[in-house]
Amino acid sequence: MSDAKPIVGIIMGSQSDWPTMKHAADMLEEFGIPYEARIVSAHRTPARLVDYATTARERGLHVIIAGAGGAAHLPGMAAAMTPLPVFGVPVQSAALSGQDSLLSIVQMPGGVPVGTLAIGKAGAKNAGILAASVIALHDKAVADKLDAFRAAQTASVADVPVDEA
Return d(Cα 97, Cα 102) in angstroms, integer. 10
Please identify which residue in 10, 33, 63, 68 interacts with ligand RP5, judged by CB under 6 A: 68
Q: How far is the CB of 140 from ligand RP5 (least distance, A)?
A: 35
Helix (H) or strand (E) holding 37, with range, is strand 35-39
One residue of 8, 14, 40, 136 binding ligand RP5 per CB under 6 A: 14
Q: Does 10 bind ligand RP5 (CB under 6 A)?
A: no
Q: Is 14 annotated as a binding residue?
A: yes
Q: Is position 3 annotated in a ligand binding site?
A: no
Candidate list 6, 9, 69, 75; residue touching ligand RP5; CB under 6 A: 69
Q: Which is nearer to ligand RP5, 71 or 148 (CB)?
A: 71
Residues 6+ apart with CB under 8 A from 139: none
As measured in angstroms, the least distance from the Cβ of 134 to ligand RP5 is 23
CB 125 within 8 A of CB 22: no
* Residue among 107, 142, 101 nearest 120 (CA): 101
Residue 104 CB coordination number (10 Å):
23
Which residues of the chain form contacts with ligand RP5 (CB under 6 A)? 13-14, 16-17, 41, 43, 68-70, 91
